[in-house]
Amino acid sequence: PFANPPQTSTMSAYCGKYKDELIKNAAYIGTPGKGILAADESTGTIGKRFASINVENVEDNRRALRELLFTTPGALQHISGVILFEETLYQSSKAGKPFVDILKENNVLPGIKVDKGTVELAGTDKETTTQGHDDLGKRCAKYYEAGARFAKWRAVLKIGPNEPSQLSIDQNAQGLARYAIICQENGLVPIVEPEILVDGP
């Protein structure tokens, strides 16, 4: 026998109280012919877009834009899910109907961006890791209660002559895995998003 037996990896499946709902929602998100609408621009990002057309970045204008996206006739027929920014999850149409209800009535699953952005990863050449794990369980429970059924977490990998480093790969993979199980424990299907930046040397 081996002095040090070979390491084997095993995969496990989540089997908690939301198991059946998660399977159903994950399958629905992947419906052939449908896609996910990313409407999770931060207040700052949407502000830049508004500035380019001379529109003031205030909540009422952000709400009006999202209402246009969600209520234009035929706009949602090929959408299985919409990723929302936290502000949008709690917003309503001008008539007072919650956006979450508008989406559900159109057979669209509401989702939520749950990461809190990236920070530089110490020991690397400007590679990053994603923030947001500290209170993620509480936030996911709150978002589920508000009607969200899936979540998005973005981990960015830098490509270069010496990147990604093993440290960056490990940290981002572990961060995505922690995010995924926390989401599942709270009823949210996790969309795992390792993003490769297009800007190169």
Give tens-digit pLDDT for 113-144.
999 999 999 999 999 999 999 999 999 999 99
Element (H, E) at 191: strand 189-196
pLDDT score recorded for residue 15? 79
Cα 66 to Cα 162: distance, rounded to the nearest angstrom:
41
Using pLDDT thresholds of 50, 70 and 90, give the confidence band for residue 12.
low
pLDDT at 14: 72
Question: Residue 8: pLDDT above 60?
Answer: no
Task: Give CA angle at 99 (95, 102), nearest 5°.
Answer: 85
Strands 128-130 and 118-120: antiparallel
How many CB atoms are closer than 10 A to CB 46? Answer: 20
- pLDDT tens digits, residue range 76-116? 999 999 999 999 999 999 999 999 999 999 999 999 999 99
Closest by CA to 129, choosing from 194, 198, 43, is 194
188 band by pLDDT with thresholds 50, 70 and 90: very high
Token digits of residue 46: 């949407």
CA distance 65 to 51: 14
pLDDT at 179 (0 to 100): 98
pLDDT of residue 7: 55
Q: Is the model's pLDDT at 154 over the cut of 50?
A: yes
Other Cβ atoms less than 10 A from the Cβ of 108: the count is 22
The whole-angstrom separation of Cα 201 and Cα 193 is 23
Q: Does the pLDDT value for residue 2 go beyond 90?
A: no
What is the distance between the alpha carbons of residues 61 and 79, in angstroms, rounded to a whole number? 23
C-alpha 102/C-alpha 199 separation (Å) is: 37
* Overall average pLDDT of the 171-189 stretch: 97
pLDDT value of residue 92: 96
**What is the per-residue pLDDT across 40-82, written as a single tens digit (0 to 9) for each?**
998 999 999 999 999 999 999 999 999 999 999 999 999 999 9
**What global pTM score does this model have?**
0.89
Residue 138: strand, helix, or coil = helix
